[in-house]
Structures are given as C-alpha cells and as structure tokens.
C-alpha cells in the first residue's frame, strides 16, 4: 500500500483534515454517551429517562433543520480551512462549558450544550465533504471518502466506549470534563495544519431568510438529476442508520436482555462493519467514481436487515445475558454476522454516493448541496 488508501493520511493535504474530523466525531460521542449515562443514573427524577433521551436527540438534530441553509452559504463563501479552525475553536469553548456541566451533573445545562454541539456540527458538515474534492484529485475521491467514513464510524465506536468508561462508577467527575476539553484542543491543533481551501464563490451574498434559502439549496441539489438521486439515497441511508443506532440499546435491553458489555460488542460490530465495507469499496471500485456498488449495498442492507429480524427467534433470555452467554445461544453469532453484514454493505452503499456528488456537482454550489443533504 505504498500509494494506496492509507498513504493519504501522511499527506498534508488530507492528513490534518482527517484527524480534525476524526477527533470531532470522537468527542461528540464521548460527550453524548456520557450524557446518556448521566441521564440514566437518575440525576433528574422529574422526567423519565426515555423522554430525556428523546429530547437530547431532538436538540442535537434541530440545528441541522434550522441552520443548514446558512451553513452551506458560509462554506461556499469563505476559505474552508479558515472556517474549520474557527469552528474547532468554538468547539473548545463549548466543551469548556460542558466540563462545568459534567462537574456539577447539571443535566438541563448539558442539554443546552448539546444543542450548541449540534449547531457547531451543522456548520462543519458542509465543509467536511466539500473540502475533499478541493484537496484531492478525481482518482482519490473514493479513497478520501472511504477514509472519512471509516474514521467517522471508528470514532463513533471508540467515543461511545470511552464515554461509558469515563462515566463508570468509581471514576472521578472531573475525568470526563478534562477529556472533552482535551479532545477539542487536539482537534483545534489538527485543524491548524489544514492547507488553504479557497472560497468556491466569494461573491456570494448571504441570504438570512433561512426558510427561503432552504428551498434555494434544495434547488441546487436538484440541478443534476443523478446528484439529486444520490442526495436522496444518502438521506435514506442515514435515516436507516439512525434507526439502527438509536434502537440498538432498546434491542439489547428489552429483547436480548443483555448487559452494557453486550451492547458495546454489538455497536462495535456494526461500526467495524461500516469501516470494513468502506475499505473494501475503495478496493473493489478500482478508485473510479461510479455507482456500481450502490445496488449491491442496498441488497445487502435489505437481506441482512431482514435476517436480523428472524435471528432473534433463536435467543432465550433468562436474567441479564452477558457476552459469553449471548454467544452460547443458538442465534448469537447470527445476530453478530447480521450486524456486521449491515455495516459492510452500508459502506458499499454510502462511499460511492458521496464521491459521486463531489464529482458531478457544480463546485460553486457543492457546500450548499451537502447542506441540503444535511
């Protein structure tokens, strides 16, 4: 792999950006998992745990609906590398506030911080995918997107596990606070190494009417029919992925009757599958930007998803089931293979779609098209 997939990580035009987005995703999941466990600990008794978890999810997603139109304009109007550095500095400030919230177990305050995190992610999202074609050539687009998807899901896995470990009984309240601030600082330092990525449309005048601009950016996404189909495909994938990731804990608790350790194993299997699928996609595509693997990915997602439903029939719960007990049951390995398969074919599905959008879109509108997707 002298000039293969991972050689990009050593290059200045991609390496600093990769580690910036990796650390950001890692920190997001450390924070969110630690907050989920704080909520589950009963820190707030007036509202049910499930209600608070749903409120937390809504608060993180809400900024994407409200501010993506503005975020897309900003990403097209200004130098993306400079924007990333400013956004990561804001993350340091947000995580400093989060540190205070974790130290005092202030759940409602942390929910407000979570909204700010969602807002920061809203502005980073369009840059994350539109900066790649500015730094890489067409033959490297699939490789770059494969690495980003691998890194994102590895960060989700490691961040979620770290969030659990940092909030376990016996760990000091200040540890998670130090961790989220430290990770934010590392992300800011990585961002300082990103080379300039000039504005795609520096003459753009910002439209502050967010509702009207939302329809404008959707219009940009629909200019090229094949790009619009990719936007819809990506949206469907994240809708499906959100369903799996948000319901996996319920599946483990209520149907498998499993422990938190089992939940971590299943989440890890799913995340590893996405990373493996992204890696294989880069190899199977021959580094060409084409959609041949997308139908295969959708078929695999469907087959393994349906089998996951039937694999439950072979499991029997008798008290809490740990990892060893789960694997001894008739359907244990089948559930693992189904989640791995969903992840692998998810990688086949998502990587070519992002690369195709970057390849076929008008460069002046690319950030706004990604914002429309968000």
Are residues 71 and 122 in contact, defined by beta-carbon separation less than 8 angstroms? Answer: yes
- With a pLDDT cut of 90, the percent of the chain lying above it is 45
Are residues 322 and 258 in contact, defined by beta-carbon separation less than 8 angstroms? Answer: yes
pLDDT surpasses 60 at 169: no
Distance CA 121, CA 88 (A): 10
pLDDT tens-place string over residues 36-86: 878 877 667 677 777 887 888 889 889 998 999 999 999 999 999 999 999
pLDDT at 241: 82
pLDDT tens-place string over residues 83-104: 999 999 999 999 999 999 988 8
In terms of average pLDDT, the best of 24-38, 87-101, 151-165, 326-340 is 87-101
Query: Quick count: other Cβ atoms within 10 Å of Cβ 14?
Result: 23
pLDDT tens-place string over residues 13-38: 999 999 999 999 999 989 988 888 78
Residue 287's closest CA among 136, 134, 140? Answer: 140
Reduce the secondary structure of 52-86 to three states and give it as a string: HHHHHHHHHHHHHHHHHHHHHHHHHHCCHHHHHHH
- Topology at the third CATH level for domain 8-200+208-373: Growth Hormone; Chain: A; (1.20.1250)
Query: Quick count: other Cβ atoms within 10 Å of Cβ 112?
Result: 14
Task: Tell me what the mean pLDDT of segment 243-265 comes to.
Answer: 81
Distance CA 323, CA 264 (A): 10
Determine the distance from the C-alpha atom of residue 261 to the mean position of all C-alpha atoms in its chain, rounded to a whole number.
Answer: 22
State phi, psi for 329 to the nearest 5 degrees.
Answer: -80, 160
With a CB cutoff of 8 Å and minimum separation 6, the contacts of 109 are: 97, 100, 101
Are residues 118 and 59 in contact, defined by beta-carbon separation less than 8 angstroms? Answer: yes
Read off the pTM. 0.84
């Amino acid at each position: 792999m002298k000039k293969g997939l991972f050689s990009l990580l050593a290059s200045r035009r991609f390496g600093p950006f990769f580690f910036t987005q990796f650390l950001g995703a890692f920190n997001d999941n450390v924070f969110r998992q630690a907050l989920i466990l704080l909520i589950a600990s009963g820190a707030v008794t007036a509202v049910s745990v499930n209600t608070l978890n749903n409120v937390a999810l809504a608060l993180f997603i809400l900024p994407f609906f409200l501010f993506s139109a503005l975020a897309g304009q900003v990403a097209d109007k200004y130098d993306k590398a400079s924007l990333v550095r400013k956004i990561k500095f804001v993350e340091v400030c947000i995580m400093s506030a989060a540190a205070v919230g974790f130290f005092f177990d202030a759940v409602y305050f942390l929910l407000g911080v979570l909204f700010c995190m969602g807002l920061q992610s809203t502005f980073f999202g369009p840059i994350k995918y539109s900066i790649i074609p500015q730094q890489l050539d067409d033959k490297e687009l699939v490789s770059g997107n494969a690495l980003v998807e691998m890194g994102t899901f590895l960060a989700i896995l490691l961040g979620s596990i770290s969030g659990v470990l940092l909030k376990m009984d016996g760990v000091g309240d200040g540890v998670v606070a130090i961790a989220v601030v430290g990770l934010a600082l590392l992300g800011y330092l990585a961002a300082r190494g990103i080379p300039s990525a000039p504005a795609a449309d520096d003459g753009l005048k910002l439209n502050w009417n967010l509702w009207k601009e939302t329809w404008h950016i959707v219009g940009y996404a629909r200019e090229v029919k094949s790009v619009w189909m990719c936007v819809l495909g990506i949206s469907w994938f994240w809708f499906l992925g959100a369903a799996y990731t948000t319901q996996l804990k319920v599946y483990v608790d209520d149907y498998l009757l499993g422990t938190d350790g089992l939940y971590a194993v299943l989440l890890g299997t799913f995340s590893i599958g996405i990373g493996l699928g992204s890696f294989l996609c880069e190899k199977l595509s021959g580094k060409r930007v084409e959609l041949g693997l997308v139908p295969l990915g959708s078929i695999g997602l469907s087959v393994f998803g349906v089998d996951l439903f039937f694999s439950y029939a072979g499991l029997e719960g008798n008290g809490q089931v740990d990892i060893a007990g789960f694997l001894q049951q008739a359907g244990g390995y089948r559930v693992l293979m189904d989640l791995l398969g969903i992840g692998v074919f998810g990688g086949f599905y998502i990587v070519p779609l992002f690369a195709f959008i970057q390849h076929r879109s008008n460069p002046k509108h690319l950030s706004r098209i990604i914002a429309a997707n968000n």
